Amino acid sequence: MENYLRKFLEHQQNLDEIERRGDESYGIEFMKLREFSQNIKTENHYSSSEGEKPINIHKNRYKDIVPFDFCRVKLKRKSDETDYINASFIKVSNWRQNYIAAQGPLPKTVDDFWAMIWDYDVTMVVMACQEMEGFPPKCQRYWNISKEEELKFGSLTVRMVLPRAEETIICRKLLVTDGKSKRNVTHLHYTKWPDKFVPKCIDSIIRLITAMREIHPIERPEPLVVHCSAGCGRTGTIMVIDYVKALLDNGKITEKFNLYDVIVEMRKQRMAIVQTQEQYQYVHEAVAKLFREKLQAIESHYYGNRPSMTGNASDDGEYESVMYKPPTMPKIVMLPGPQTAKISTTDKSRTPSPKVDFSKNASYSNNKDDDNTYKNMNSHQKSSTQGLSNKTKLSLNKSLSGDRKNDWNGGGSGAGSYSRSLYEDNPDYPYPIHSEPPKVPAKTYAGQNHLLAQKTPTVEYIYRGVNIGFPVRLKKPKGPRPFRSL
C-alpha cells in the first residue's frame, strides 16, 4: 500500500508545482468535474423530476440543488401528501453504511428533517454551517441551546442532555422521544467553515472526522447524516475525506485509487459534491496529509521494531528481539587485600561473544601463590578452547606452560608477547587484533598493595577473544582499549 500512497503524493506535488508556476492544474481537473455534472443532467437515469414538482419545489433551499430521483431519501411519514425531502443517499463501494447528504432545514421543512432522522434510525448528525452567514439564513435551528429548552417537531420532542464545546466543534447529546420510544442522537457542529470556501486549518477537519468515527464507527448500519446549507459543497468535502480516511485506516487503498474518481462517484448520487475549486484543492491537501502521516507511522513502526544486533529491546520498549542472546558476563568484584574474589551480580548491559564458554560456578583466588594461580589459569583455559582447532589448542597449552607462567606475574616477556606469538598468525583465530595490549604490572595482581588494586580497573576474563581463566588487573591504557571491559 505504501507505493500507492507515494504515487498519490507525487501526483499532488505535481499539481502544486504547476500552480506555483502560475498555470492551472486543480482548475483543469475541477472544470472536468463541472462538465461531467452538466452532462449527466441530460440523461434519464439522473432525472430530478420529484424535486421539481410544484408541491415540492418550495422545499428546496436552492433551485439548482435538487436530489436525483433514484437515490433521494423518501420520508416514511408523509408531509403534505408527499414523501419528498431534499436529501440524498450516498452509497460508497462495499460499505454497509450510507451517508445522507442533506440541505440545511428550512422553517417549513424542519419537521421533515427530524422525521427523516427518526424513520432511518439516525444516531449521528454532522453540521458544517452556521445558522446565519450573511443573508439569507443558512439553516433553521433544530437543536436545543440549553438543557432547560424543549423543542417539538411534529410528534417528536427534543431535549439536550449534554453539551460540550471545543475551539471549532460543539458536541451536543440530544434525547429524542416519540411517545414512549426514546433515542439518543449526537449532534456534531463544526463552527469555523465559511460558505463556498475552506477552513484555515486541515487538522480541525481531521479532528472532526476522527471524533465522528469514534462515536459512530463505520461498521454501524445506521446512515450518517451530513449537512451544510445546500448539502453539497462542505457536505461533500467532509464525506470524501472521511471515506478516504476509512479506506486508509482499513488498508484498502489500492493501485486503482484516484481521488478524482471518488468525487465523480459521489457526484453521480448528488450534484455539486465538492462544489468549488478551493474545496477540490482542499480535499487533495487533506488526503495528502493523511497519507504522509500514514507513511511516517509505517516507517517509524518498521525502523522502531527492527531487531537490535545486540539482541536488546528497541527504544520504545514495545518490541523485544527474537535474535540469539549470548550468555551474560559475570562481574568480578576484587576485594582489598588477600581476600578471595567472588562472582557477584551479573551485568546485563554488556554481553560477551557467544563463542566463549564460561564456567558459572567458578571461584578465583587472589592468592599470591604462583603455583595455585597457574593451576587455576590452566584448568579454565582448557574449557575455553572448544572453538579452536587441535593445532591451536596444542599451541595454547604449550604457551601457557613453563616460562609463560612467570609472564603473568610480571616477569618474562609479558602479556603482550604472549598475545602476539599465539594469535597474530593463527588462521583459526576469529577475532582481529587491533593494537598491542599493555603489559601486566607485577604488584597489581598479587594483592600485596590493595590500595593500588582498588584504583585500577577490573579486566574481564576474555583476553584476545579467549577466556584465560582468571581475573587480571591492568592499568588503564592511554590509547584505545583493544579489549572489552566490564
Active site residue 228: yes
Q: What is the mean pLDDT of residues 363-373?
A: 45
- Residue 129 makes CB contacts below 8 A (sequence gap 6+) with 104, 138, 139, 193, 195, 227, 228, 229, 234
pLDDT at 465 over 90: no
Whole-number pLDDT of residue 299: 84
Whole-number pLDDT of residue 352: 47
Among 204-208, 387-391, 414-418, the minimum mean pLDDT is found in 414-418
Among 64-78, 277-291, 398-412, the minimum mean pLDDT is found in 398-412
CA separation for the pair 268, 71 (Å, rounded): 10
CA separation for the pair 109, 212 (Å, rounded): 25
Whole-number pLDDT of residue 331: 47
Q: What is the mean pLDDT of residues 297-326?
A: 50
Work out the pLDDT band at 434, boundaries 50, 70, 90. very low
Whole-number pLDDT of residue 300: 82
Q: Which residue has the higher pLDDT, 433 or 226?
A: 226
| H-helix or E-strand spanning residue 125 | strand 124-127
Whole-number pLDDT of residue 302: 63
Signed CA dihedral, 40, 42, 43, 44: sign only: positive
AA identity, residue 453: A
CA separation for the pair 92, 235 (Å, rounded): 15
Whole-number pLDDT of residue 134: 81
pLDDT at 181 over 60: yes
Does the pTM surpass 0.85? The reply is no
251-265 confidence digits (pLDDT tens) = 999 999 999 999 999
The domain ranges of the chain are 2-304, 330-473
Q: What is the mean pLDDT of residues 68-87?
A: 90
pLDDT at 178 over 90: yes
Tell me how many degrees the CA angle 447-448-454 measures, rounded to the nearest 5: 55
Q: What is the mean pLDDT of residues 165-177?
A: 93
Q: Is the bond preceding residue 136 a cis peptide, omega within 30 degrees?
A: yes
101-131 confidence digits (pLDDT tens) = 999 999 999 999 999 999 999 999 999 999 9
Query: Going by DSSP bridges, is the β-strand pair 224-227/472-473 parallel, antiparallel, or unpaired?
Result: unpaired
Q: Are 189 and 163 in contact (CB under 8 A)?
A: no
Among 255-264, 286-295, 347-356, the minimum mean pLDDT is found in 347-356
Q: What is the mean pLDDT of residues 303-308?
A: 52
Residues of the chain with pLDDT > 70, as a percent, come to: 61
Whole-number pLDDT of residue 432: 46
Whole-number pLDDT of residue 207: 94
pLDDT at 67 over 70: yes
pLDDT at 472 over 70: no
Residues of the chain with pLDDT > 90, as a percent, come to: 49
From 3.40.50.2300, 3.90.180.10, 3.90.190.10, 1.20.1260.10, which CATH number describes the 2-304 domain?
3.90.190.10
Work out the pLDDT band at 235, boundaries 50, 70, 90. very high
Among 59-63, 346-350, 371-375, 478-482, the minimum mean pLDDT is found in 346-350
The one catalytic residue among 139, 171, 201, 228: 228
Q: Are 328 and 298 in contact (CB under 8 A)?
A: no
Compute the mean pLDDT over every residue in the chain, rounded to the nearest whole number: 75
